[in-house]
Amino acid sequence: MSVEWRIAPAPVAYEDAVAAMEERVAAIRAGIAPEMVWLVEHPPLYTAGTSARDGDLVEAIFPVHRTGRGGQFTYHGPGQRVGYVMLDLKRRGLDLKTYVRALEAWLIATLAEFGVTGERRDGRVGIWIADGGREAKIAAVGVRVRHWVSYHGVSLNLDPDLGHYRGIVPCGIREHGVTSLRALGISASMAELDRAMERTFAAAFPPHPALSPEGSGIH
Q: What is the CATH number of the domain that holds 92?
A: 3.30.930.10
- Could you tell me whether strands 36-40 and 4-7 are parallel, antiparallel, or unpaired per DSSP bridges? parallel
210 DSSP 8-state letter: G
Domain count, the chain: 1
Give the residue numbers marked as catalytic: 171
Q: Establish if 166 belongs to a structural domain.
A: yes
Q: Establish if 67 belongs to a structural domain.
A: yes
Looking at residue 216, its pLDDT comes to 29
Q: Establish if 21 belongs to a structural domain.
A: yes
CA dist., res. 120 & res. 142, Å (int):
15
Looking at residue 213, its pLDDT comes to 37
Q: Establish if 218 belongs to a structural domain.
A: no
Looking at residue 52, its pLDDT comes to 82
Q: Establish if 145 belongs to a structural domain.
A: yes
**Which residues are registered as beta bridge partners of 187?**
none
Q: Establish if 216 belongs to a structural domain.
A: no
Looking at residue 50, its pLDDT comes to 85
Q: Establish if 215 belongs to a structural domain.
A: no
Specify the DSSP element, H or E, that contains 98: helix 96-112
Q: Establish if 190 belongs to a structural domain.
A: yes
What phi and psi values does residue 13 have, to the nearest 5 degrees?
-60, 140
DSSP assignment of 58-103, as one string? Answer: ---SS-EEE-SSSSSEEEE-TTEEEEEEE-BHHHHT--HHHHHHHH
Looking at residue 93, its pLDDT comes to 94
Domain of residue 16, residue span: 4-208
pLDDT by position in tens, the chain (length 219): 589 999 999 999 999 999 999 999 999 999 999 999 999 999 999 998 888 888 889 888 999 999 888 888 899 999 999 999 999 999 999 999 999 999 999 999 999 999 999 999 887 778 999 977 788 999 999 999 999 999 999 999 999 999 999 998 776 555 578 999 999 999 999 999 999 999 999 999 997 655 543 332 221
Rg (the chain; Cα; Å): 17
Looking at residue 218, its pLDDT comes to 24
Looking at residue 210, its pLDDT comes to 56
